[in-house]
Structure 1
Amino acid sequence: MNILPRAASVLAVTIGLISSAGATTPVAQSSPAPVKNIVLVHGAWVDGSGWKPVYDILTRDGYHVSLVQEPLTSLEGDVAAAKRVLDLQNGPTILVGHSYGGSVITEAGVHPNVVGLVYVAAHAPNVGEDEAALGKGMPSYTSKQAGAIDKTADGYTYLNPAVFPKDFAADLPTKQAVFESHAQILTAAGVFSTPLTAAAWTTKPSWGIVAADDKIINPDLERWYYARAHSHVTVIPGASHSVYESHPQQVAAVIEDAARHAEQ
């Protein structure tokens, strides 16, 4: 009857089919863990303390957050300050810049720890470009006001305290905006006209926040920057240039989105 040899043959074929099926079954791929390091970079005329509302949200949500305090004496010096902080990070990092800080992160963002960029009402020039020249193409409300931006005898700029509250921080409490107008960090005029030597957004993913009522940077210029960089764009209606202080929840949400998706 040859039953046993035939049964052995069928069993062998069955085992072979099972093994083959197992070999071709795809293994489920786990998503990369969110990036946990965040570095925040402030813009001109202010310091890093304005990031505190965003810092509080991010640290509460488990992120390791560091702030860069730029000297605001030269673009080169400010980029070096950002890179020092990036050197201290223990792995992949999201680099965030507000206003002129966008130029700083664009150049500093080539640092190997940086895996994603977030622009918050910020400039994002390309190599060889500077924000002063680009701003002339789409001038801001403030730049068209005579005397709004003043300069010291040795070439440091500041925003006239009389216009600071309504131009820089219209959606902050008046007392806070007035205080910030008198706590400005005078900023070397040259930082705005120094051409960039690197542009990290050309090789790394980016996210961009448009402050829809921004008077310091034309919101249309912000949109143009982010479209060119193929950024993930969020528009915050009614937000002033101080959007990171007045809308911290929305700004933090964009940063956390970048942290979740930058390495995917």
Structure 2
Amino acid sequence: MAVAAAAAVNLGTGAYAQGSLPTDQAVRSVVLVHGAFADGSGWRGVYDILTARGYRVSVVQNPLTSLEDDVAATHRAIDRLDGPTILVGHSYGGTVITEAGVNPNVAGLVYVSALAPDVGETTGDQFSEIPAPADFVIETGADGFGFVNSEKFKIGFAGDTSDPDAAFLRDSQVPINMEIFGTPVSHAAWKEKPSWAVVATEDNAIDPELLRHTADRIGAVSVEVPGSHVVFLTQPEAVADVIDTAARSAHTN
């Protein structure tokens, strides 16, 4: 999901100055996990802010071929970093971090407009009581891989982006194997790791009420940010601030 979002980020104007991590801060690494229909490049703005503040950041490139494959890709990224890590997931990436977050190097979880199944639940199960908004339309091909409908893409997925950026995101979609949405998780890392949640108040892919319900269910510290489903891209500093807070707050064994 490559887009020049980082150009709009004015580094050094956030809550913390460049490279200002306390010398005694234990959690100094962050792993960012994208969701469906996207790739890791959408995290560029968040990446730039966090690295400027002194964090070592790794961005996962999920293949979106199976939950098992995406969890394995996330474990590889976690294992390449030194010391305790904050694991961040967007949208379906929340399912991935729920499974992968049991990795002993993970000190905390941040859910960004994300889902968080319990053990035995699937990504699709999350929508049983609060369905996705009507403008979020997925089209599944004969091979079982899905794309977001082109005509509905901006309003359903990226409503607060510019028309050119929305068009690029639409035309650079990474399709997801739709079977993933029916795959249950076998671990729920939020039961044992501290969690934070960013609720995008204008999300039109996951109803904000579902995001609030999810944050409450997992006991997450919830922060509401005005933005669409791609709030990490359009509000990178607000999202980076939550990740920064998680890293400063999480305690290691």
Same fold (TM over 0.5): yes
Q: Displacement, 1:32?
A: 5.6
- Partner in structure 1 of residue 86 of structure 2: 94
Q: Displacement, 1:218?
A: 1.2
Partner of residue 249 from structure 2, selected from 225, 237, 261: 261
Q: Which runs of 5+ in 1 are unaligned?
A: 1-29
Q: Compare CA radii of gyration and give the structure with the larger one.
A: 1
CA–CA separation in structure 1 for the residues paired with 2:71 and 2:125: 20
- CA RMSD in angstroms, aligned pairs only: 1.5
CA–CA separation in structure 2 for the residues paired with 1:224 and 1:131: 15
Partner of residue 75 from structure 2, selected from 83, 93, 105: 83
Q: Displacement, 1:190?
A: 1.0
Q: Is the 8 A contact 2:158 2:229 kept in 1?
A: yes
Q: Displacement, 1:108?
A: 0.2
- 1:20-31 equivalent positions in 2, closer than 5 A: none
Q: Displacement, 1:260?
A: 0.1
- 1:173-184 equivalent positions in 2, closer than 5 A: 173-184=162-173
SS state at 2:205 partner: coil
- Partner in structure 2 of residue 106 of structure 1: 98
SS state at 1:137 partner: coil
Q: Is the 8 A contact 1:32 1:263 kept in 2?
A: no
Pairs aligned (count) = 231
| % same residue | 49
Task: After superposition, give the CA deviation of every residue in 1:98-155 in whole Å (9 maximum; x if it has no partner).
Answer: 00000000000000100000000000010001121221310121xx35x921011010
Q: Which runs of 5+ in 2 are unaligned?
A: 1-21
SS state at 1:204 partner: coil
- Partner in structure 2 of residue 186 of structure 1: 175
- Partner in structure 2 of residue 135 of structure 1: 127
Q: Is the 8 A contact 2:115 2:126 kept in 1?
A: no
CA–CA separation in structure 2 for the residues paired with 1:225 and 1:252: 20
Q: Answer 1 or 2: which has greater helix percent.
A: 1
Matched, 1:67 2:69: no
TM-score by length of 1: 0.85
TM-score by length of 2: 0.88
Partner of residue 239 from structure 2, selected from 221, 234, 251: 251
Matched, 1:166 2:155: yes
